[in-house]
Amino acid sequence: MSNIRELMRKNLDSGVVDLTIDKWSTFNEVVTEMLDYPHYVWRGQRSSKWLLEPTLNRNIKDNHGKAEEIVKKHLDNFQYATRGRRGSNPKLNMTEDEWWALGQHHGLATPLLDWSTSPFVAAYFAFSEEDIEEDDYRAIYALHRDQVSKKSEKLNKQETTTDSLIEFIKPLSDDNPRLVNQSGLFSKGPIGQDLEGWIKSNFNQDNKIAILIKLKIPNSERLLALKALNRMNINHLSLFPDIVGSSVYSNMALKISKYIE
């Protein structure tokens, strides 16, 4: 594969790079070449056709005029629904972002997107579920966290409303072992706008840095990728340290030949 810097320059469009790579080993080459770029965070998605948007956005697409009202009511409902269900000594005075983070890893539709500092954790989430008919490719994204944060700070100084900015959330709470094991953090952006669209709107054609890199890998590489990741101890057992993780890990071993020795 050509040098990743050269490929990014050739495919750069307003800060976004879109690359299709043919096999799993090529992804390893890309990650190796990007070791000198520590400011990227990573995310995997099962379909390369899906937008980079949180579940809450998808749920309220037809209600943009009432989006803020719906979001507030949704969080209120979750807060009331969790009363008496957060253990014997729940944290008090949680911030709104902490509530969203709590809900994110318990199935709540939220305005957050999951990211990891590990490209291989992101790759696992791209490949962990079986193929879908609508797409022949998975997607693994690398996002330049520092550049996005600097752009948001600049927009904020220009008195842009905070609702139009991107912020990163890394909860300090240690009561979510999944988040810890996944080297996880979240991004939170404007309701109703996908992340790639936000980047293209806020980074011009003269931008020389890849703010968002989208790597498309064929579904045909799924089994090889999962077996390779398992050898790195990146699997449901390590990323979801509970009975659910144990069950999914065992189910994968049932379906994938030589997944576990």
Q: What is the pLDDT of residues 193-235, one digit of tens each?
A: 899 999 999 987 667 788 999 999 999 999 999 999 999 999 9
How many CB atoms sit inside 10 A of residue 62's CB? 7
H or E segment to which residue 18 belongs: strand 16-20
Q: What are the tokens at 138? A: 């998975």
> Quick one: pLDDT at residue 181?
62
**Residue carrying structure tokens 């139009």:** 164
70 Cβ contact list (under 8 Å, min separation 6): 60, 63
Q: pLDDT, tens digit, for every residue of 245-255?
A: 899 999 999 99
Helices and strands of the chain, counted as H and E runs: 12, 8
Sheet holding 40-45, edge to edge: 12-13, 16-20, 212-218, 137-144, 40-45, 112-116, 184-188, 167-169
Q: What global pTM score does this model have? A: 0.90
pLDDT at residue 195, rounded to an integer: 96
